[in-house]
Amino acid sequence: MTAGGLLAGKASAAVAATGAEAPMPHASKSFGLQIYSLQQELYNDLPARLKEVKAMGYERLELAGYGKGKIGKVDMMEFKKMAEDAGLKIVSSHVNPSVEGVPFLRDYTKELTPKIMEYWKATAADHAKLGCKYLIQPMMPNIPDHDAAKLVCDIFNQAADVIKAEGIATGFGYHNHNMEFNRVATEEQKAKMKGNPFAAFMKVGDQIYDLMLRDTDPSKVYFEMDVYWTVMGQNDPVEYMQKHKDRIKVLHIKDRAVFGQSGMMNFEMIFKQMYANGIQDYFVELEKMPDGRTQFAGVKDCAAYLANASFVK
Ligand code: MG
C-alpha cells in the first residue's frame, strides 16, 4: 500500500509537471493471472512478454505447464528469475499427477496411490523452490460412482500431507471445471426414483463437488473455485462461497471470453462475496480468444475491465 501510494504520488507529480497522459486507471489495483490464458504467445520472448503482463496491472502469477523441473520448455528456476525481473511473483501452480507410463492420470486406484504420492513429493519439492503458496490440481480424475469419489478424496487428503511435508503449508488445492457438478447416484438413490414418471427430468444423486467438499479434510484440502465453470455446471458460485467460506480459498475469475461481454457472469456479486469471505487471492483466466485477436489483447482487456470496475478493490 505504501509503495503503491508513493509510486502513485510520483506519477501524479510527473503528470502535473509534464502534462503527460493521465496515470493508468489500475495504478492502485493489482491482479493475479493464470498463465494458461496466454497460450504459446507467452513463450515468444518470455522476458519481454512477462514485462508486458506486469505493465497491464498483473503482479502475481499462477503457473501452468509444469513438468520435470520445467514450465513449458523453460527451466523452472530460469522462469522464476525472469518473472522476478519483470516484477511478478509466482504464487500458485496447476499440476496434474502423472505416473510412469501414464502422463495424465485419470483412473485412480489403490494400487497406484504410492506412485501418485511419489509424483506429489517431487512436484511439491520443486514448487517449494519456486516459492509457491498454492499447489493446485486443475483436472478431475474419473469419478463414475460414490466409491470412486471416496478413493479420490482419500488420495487428495494423502497428497496434502505429502505437499505440506515438502514445505507448502496450504496443503492440496483443487480447481473445478463443470464436470464436478455432474451427479453420481447410489442404487438406493436410483431405486427411490423407480416408477416416477418425471425421473428423467429430475436431479438424482449427489454432485461430485459436494462429495469432494464432504469427504476431504478441511485442515488439508482447499478449493480454488472457477466461477465460470461453476456457472457452466448450472450452479451459483456466490452460493457456494457463502456455504463454504472455510473451504473456498482462491478463485479463478473467468468469463466465456473477455470479461463482461457474455452477460453470463455477475462479477459484482462474486467480488462482493469474495471480499466478505476474506479471500486474498484470485487469478484471471481467459480461454482461447474467439475473435482472432491475440491472447495478450484479451488478457489486457480483462485487466482493464477489473481496473474500471468500481466493485474491484
Ligand atoms: Mg480455471
Domain containing residue 74: CATH number: 3.20.20.150
Domain-embedded: residue 188:
yes
Instruction: Count up the domains in the chain and report the number.
Output: 1
Ligand 1 centroid – CA 177 distance (Å) = 7
Domain-embedded: residue 276:
yes
Ligand 1 centroid – CA 3 distance (Å) = 31
The Cα 22–Cα 159 span in angstroms is: 49
Domain-embedded: residue 113:
yes
pLDDT in tens, 198-239: 888 888 999 999 999 999 999 999 999 999 999 999 999 999
Domain-embedded: residue 116:
yes
Range of the domain at 225: 10-308
Domain-embedded: residue 199:
yes
Ligand 1 centroid – CA 297 distance (Å) = 19
Domain-embedded: residue 4:
no
- pTM confidence score: 0.90
Domain-embedded: residue 41:
yes
pLDDT in tens, 159-201: 999 999 999 999 999 999 999 999 999 999 999 999 998 888 8
Domain-embedded: residue 3:
no
